[in-house]
Structure 1
Amino acid sequence: MIPAGFDYVAPATLDEALTALAEAGEDGKILAGGQSLIPVLRLRMSAPGILVDIRKVPELQGISMDGDRVRIGAMATHHSVVHDPLVVEHLKLLSDTEQTVADPQVRHRGTMGGALAHADPAGDLGAVAVALDAEFDVAGPQGRRTVAAADFFQDYYTTALAEDEILVAVTFPSYAGWGAHYEKFTRVAQSWSIVSVAAAVQVEGGIVRAARVGLTNMGAVPIRASAVEQALVGGPATAEAVRAAAQSAAQGTSPVDDTSAAADYREHLARVLTARAVLAAAG
């Protein structure tokens, strides 16, 4: 199908983008990489009157260290995140996960910020953001604010972003030296996750000193598997101990029944994939 007609603006600064979005009101939509929005427009599931293209805004670009945190501009493409040396060194889990997003064509066009703001519960990056305690730098007419990942995702395709706000960047603490792995279960390659698990662990002397585990598509929003983390920390990094801890993976989740999988099967997958992801992260 062909999208409905719309106007188009391409602001050169963040202030111009915020002004254009405010003037558009409910009739405006932000265009980042377009990998989620364009298909929706073509199906006429959305028909905005104006698109605000933020690809030329320099404040939304780049990957850098901000103190002891890694700052990733919202317009950084999946491909650039995968290969950036800072991300590889400090955020191996994010780099590994980004490599599983869609296909190379989408990774070269799609943006990390756009995917997170889209908030698809089957999207890969939300679980990583929640597990690694990311913070979202948001700009709006009233100024800037910071939103923790735990508060950013609110429901299906719903975030803490107001209609007149723009995601500027996402920052992460450094996890240099941690083991990491993203275990993704799909029916076919490059499709949405049925269930996935993001795991980062710090192992010293055969003991798990710290653990971060996030779950994809086990509810309306990405979920932190806190019970698993608590069971892992202080215990041995052995197959037996990890599999025992992974039995808590489905606690606090609310998976759906759909054509891809039943809820109880997703719970089973969460336990199995958590064990695999943590064991791989622990080496």
Structure 2
Amino acid sequence: MQVPGSFEYERATGIDHAIALLDKLGDEARVVAGGHSLLPMMKLRLANPEFLIDINDLAGELGYIDVDDDAVRIGAMVRHRQLLESDELAAVFPIFRDAEKVIADPVVRNRGTLGGSLCQADPAEDLSTVCTALDATCVLRGPSGTRELPLAAFQLGPYETAAASNELLVEIRLPRHGTGSSAYAKVERRAGDWAIAAVGAAVWMNGGTIEQARVALTAVRPDPDALAELGEFLRGAEPSEDLFREAGTRAAAACNPDADQRGTAEYKRHLASELTVRTLRRAIERIVAAERG
């Protein structure tokens, strides 16, 4: 049986206490909330922290979903289950409910957190793609105060973030732009598995044209610059099946997936294309349905 190495355990009683512990214990400390990513890595000895700081008691401070006219603010301790069940969030950003329906299983959804998902920075992680499509900003707090980073600047690469050893991710902010909607679609080998490929899309309309659009890809090594160009291609266009198909072609060209037991690179590019078509179509359909009442 695989077991983690020895470590010392501290339970934080509040945000300031957690930050003080991180500042005191340094690089050898890791924060744990749901633990579904960290603990398996510890069992495999891929992670060997000397200290674990349990932040589950911070759910009272960081377990909120606030929907305002200008932004949605989500505390880092919000559980997957809360994201799935929030009707207020689904009304503004239905992409969250789409994604949460295909994330893992009820056990994970009851314990895993949004902050933990983003801090894991797994390239096959669903909520990182959701938050990328929604142009998220990460709010970090440390001994010197708070700072804000776009998600792309927060997640530096696979399993690496820009958070200092004494900083805590406390909030995710998602801007609102007016008339818009979003969607998420995923292909997996079995229910709750990591994605073979997945796509998140967010679209905002002005009259009959696309005012802004963002497409994000999961598990296929996307090129952020190429996806930004895809967004520019969609800007100002009238929605149509031809437009969606061209967007899918460009999305396929914007990724460089690895061939593995989940499928060939060609198959994964095909999925990126098809799922881009589906999510853009679905986001537009949702906008039209909302306008019709």
TM score, norm. by length of structure 1: 0.91
Q: Which amino acid aligns with 2:55?
A: I
Deviations 1:102-131 (A, max 9, x none): 111111110011011101000001112111
Partner of 1:49: 50
Contact 1:127–1:222, Cα closer than 8 Å, also in 2: no
The 1:142/1:169 distance shift into structure 2, 3 A limit, reads same
Deviations 1:10-58 (A, max 9, x none): 1111111111112222221101111111222222322222110111124
Contact 2:26–2:166, Cα closer than 8 Å, also in 1: yes
Secondary structure, in 3 states, of the residue corresponding to 2:195? Answer: coil
Deviations 1:122-153 (A, max 9, x none): 00011121111111000122221000112112
Contact 2:69–2:176, Cα closer than 8 Å, also in 1: no
For 2:69 and 2:226, the matched residues in 1 are separated by 26
Deviations 1:212-247 (A, max 9, x none): 211111227978722332232332322122112221
2:140 to 138, 149, 166: 138
Deviations 1:174-228 (A, max 9, x none): 3665232211011111100111100122346654333221111122797872233
1:214 to 197, 213, 216: 216
Q: Which amino acid aligns with 1:36?
A: S
Contact 1:69–1:171, Cα closer than 8 Å, also in 2: yes
After TM superposition, the structure 1 = structure 2 runs for residues 20-59 of structure 1, keeping only pairs within 5 Å, are 20-57=21-58, 58-59=60-61
Secondary structure, in 3 states, of the residue corresponding to 2:131? Answer: helix
| Percent of aligned positions that are identical | 37
For 1:228 and 1:142, the matched residues in 2 are separated by 38
- If each structure's helix is expressed as a fraction of its own residues, which one has the higher value? 2
The 1:143/1:205 distance shift into structure 2, 3 A limit, reads closer
After TM superposition, the structure 1 = structure 2 runs for residues 145-164 of structure 1, keeping only pairs within 5 Å, are 145-164=147-166
Partner of 1:245: 247
Contact 1:62–1:72, Cα closer than 8 Å, also in 2: yes
For 2:3 and 2:232, the matched residues in 1 are separated by 51
Unmatched segments (≥5 aa) in structure 1: none
Aligned length: 283
The 1:107/1:224 distance shift into structure 2, 3 A limit, reads farther
Unmatched segments (≥5 aa) in structure 2: 286-293
For 1:52 and 1:213, the matched residues in 2 are separated by 35
Contact 1:30–1:52, Cα closer than 8 Å, also in 2: yes
For 2:156 and 2:47, the matched residues in 1 are separated by 21
The 1:175/1:90 distance shift into structure 2, 3 A limit, reads farther
Query: Which stretch of the first structure deviates more once superposed, 175-184 or 187-196?
Result: 175-184
